[in-house]
Amino acid sequence: MQQAGTREKVDWINGAFLMVKKTAIEKTGLLDEEFFLYAEEAEWCSRLKNFGELIVYGDLKIIHLQGEIINAETNTAGKGYFDLYSKKGLQLIVSNNLRIRKQYGAGWFIFNLSVYIFEISVFFICNLLDNLIHLRNPFKNWSLVLKYSKNVFILISLSSKIIFSKKFFYKMI
């Protein structure tokens, strides 16, 4: 029987729109309870894809009020996933790196962690140069560099738990 409307294969589906057969859940397990927020659907969908396709049916349109609750809880205002300086940003960094470890293995986690560490110096140098070129205080955004560095160092402190898959609830907020 042909499905009416559109049908599109995808890599992951937002958790609010997931419908999963009981047999698939029995094979893959439930959402991973180690995740507090962010990346849990992507990790679960990667496991579900091992047992079948992920498909979105219909010509659907959604409005996602991105970040309303978390922004209220963390006193942040930004939409999207760009703020890596606050507690919300820390949760993003930790959850996405936990997903990388679970989905791709310890090697990719370590590689990604090294990129975050390298980015600290790049962020500092680029920020310094940008402020000098625009004749501003060279350390104008120094607080952002420090906040980002703090979040990366927290990720480093969690890295042994992540690498060795020790059970832990990664709630950073």
Residue 1 lies in a domain: no
Is pTM, for the whole model, over 0.85? yes
Q: How confident is the model at residue 1 (pLDDT cuts 50, 70, 90)?
A: very low
Strands 7-10 and 54-57, sheet pairing: antiparallel
Residue 106 lies in a domain: yes
d(CA 150, CA 171): 16
**Which element (helix H / strand E) includes 56?**
strand 54-57
Residue 169 lies in a domain: no
Can you give the residue range of the structural domain that contains 144?
A: 7-163
Residue 168 lies in a domain: no
**Strongest mean pLDDT among 7-16, 35-44, 102-111:** 102-111
**pLDDT tens by residue, 55-108:** 888 877 777 777 777 788 888 777 777 889 999 999 999 999 999 999 999 999
What's the pLDDT score for residue 18?
A: 80
d(CA 72, CA 54): 33
What's the pLDDT score for residue 4?
A: 59
Residue 2 lies in a domain: no
Q: What DSSP character marks residue 170?
A: B
Q: Which residues pair with 7 in a beta bridge?
A: 57
State how many domains the chain has: 1
Average pLDDT over residues 2-29: 83
* Residue 43 exposed, middle or buried by CB count within 10 Å (0-12, 13-18, 19+): buried
